[in-house]
Amino acid sequence: MNVLIIGGGVIGLAAARKLRLAGAGRITVLEKGRAGREASWAAAGMLAPDAETETVDAMYRLCRRSNELYSDFAERLADETGIDIELDRTGTICAAFSETEAKHLNNRLASQLAAGIRTESLSSADVARLEPRLSRDVSAAVLFPDNGQVENRKLVSALLEFARRNSVEVLEDSPADELLIRNGRAVGVSVKGESLEADAVVVAAGAWASKLLVKADVRCPQVTPVKGQIIAYEHFSAMRHVVYGAGGYLVPRRDCRLLVGATVEDAGFNTDVTADGVLSLRRSAERLLPELAGREPDDKWAGLRPYAGGGQPVIGAVPGVSGLFVATGHFRNGILLAPVTADLITEAVLNDSVPEIGRPFLPASGMEAAAS
């Protein structure tokens, strides 16, 4: 089984790795620019199924499963490539600054505890002990001990190194012009006027996925870009946990960078960093960490999250076109969902099978949800 994957971000590269490990034949990843340099590079790498969930539903279960897969994924990647993706399970703190936020946090805590999610209410003394530099204005906080982060840029490097060592061909600067579909079957892709043939084609092109799918007139939920801007401070070693609060989040990295994210903007395919975006991120950062007041960030960037209906991913076989698969729409959870998406795509491509946990995310399910 020869497979063409369109999109060289963490979703496409993780799927390529899993397909290789499961015995697929020739695997080629087509990337329109540089592999892993779009949303996968721009992300903050949070693994936050519990901190970001409001309800225990199919999406939560998918996120949680992928979070559980991360320990093994990180360990194996280190063995396979020599690259440590800096999986960090210190835990994630959600902080409230007002009565309303505290009430919301506590209501959520109660329903999460009832659903068996590991979470702990923190007293002011706990917060001061865990993160002494956080603002004294934090009025309530909870800790999610199973959440954390990975260094997403190292994850990109590790997946590319795996590809290099395992004969997965990654073709950069190779934008797919169109899907080649004959008699209801995907047979390949045309790239710069040349046809590349394969037994299966996986569209893992993030925010760009719909461009190809719409052109080929296939039934699949529409995917649109949602811009996220991030700022970073260097030489900031004073924090250990990922912290949500004040309309943003802080991600402290092993190399002493502190990332602050992220805006959520409908701006088409524009990735400009804006003064308003930076200002809003600085306000969140300074509210959480008063010592940052007046300090200019050292870096800033933006990326495009792929958004499909309801912020849920679309993963699996495209109805009506055999041999065509999609893995996109991961929105805020692309880094988190990479391992489980790789498993689901591998099952779909090699075994024509859909594990229970993946059923709600099939392209056909997304179409029904979008229509209802």
Which of residues 20 and 332 has its CB atom nearest to ligand GLY in the complex?
332
Residues 6+ away with beta carbon under 8 Å from 40: 9, 10, 11, 152, 155, 156, 334, 335
Residue 283 to residue 290: CA distance in whole angstroms:
10
Pattern of binders to ligand GLY over 57-96, x per CB under 6 A? ----------------------------------------
Instruction: Name the β-bridge partners of 226.
Output: 305
Pick out residues in 338-367 that bind ligand GLY (CB under 6 A): none
- Any contact of residue 261 with ligand GLY (CB under 6 A)? yes
305 binds ligand GLY (CB under 6 A): yes
- # chain residues binding ligand GLY, by CB under 6 A: 6
What are the two backbone dihedrals, phi and then psi, of residue 74, each rounded to the nearest 5 degrees?
Answer: -65, -40
- Residue 35, interface with ligand GLY (CB under 6 A)? no
**256 half-sphere exposure, CB direction, 13 A CA radius:** 5
**Residue nearer to ligand GLY on the CB measure, 154 or 305:** 305
Q: Is 308 in the site for ligand GLY (CB under 6 A)?
A: no
153 in contact with ligand GLY (CB under 6 A): no
**Which of 262, 289, 317, 340 is close enough to bind ligand GLY by CB under 6 A?**
262
C-alpha to C-alpha distance for 94 and 330, rounded to whole angstroms: 22
Compute the least distance from the CB of residue 261 to ligand GLY, in Å: 5
Min dist. Cβ of residue 344 to ligand GLY (A)? 20
9 burial level (CB within 10 Å; 0-12, 13-18, 19+)? buried
Nearer to ligand GLY among residue 149 and residue 365 (C-beta): 149
Q: Which of residues 200-239 bind ligand GLY (CB under 6 A)?
A: 228
**Are the C-beta atoms of residues 48 and 190 closer than 8 Å to each other?**
no
Q: How many CB atoms lie within 10 A of CB 215?
A: 12
Residue 233, classed as helix, strand or coil, is strand
Among 17, 18, 108, 332, binds ligand GLY (CB under 6 A): 332
List residues binding ligand GLY (CB under 6 A).
Answer: 46, 228, 261-262, 305, 332
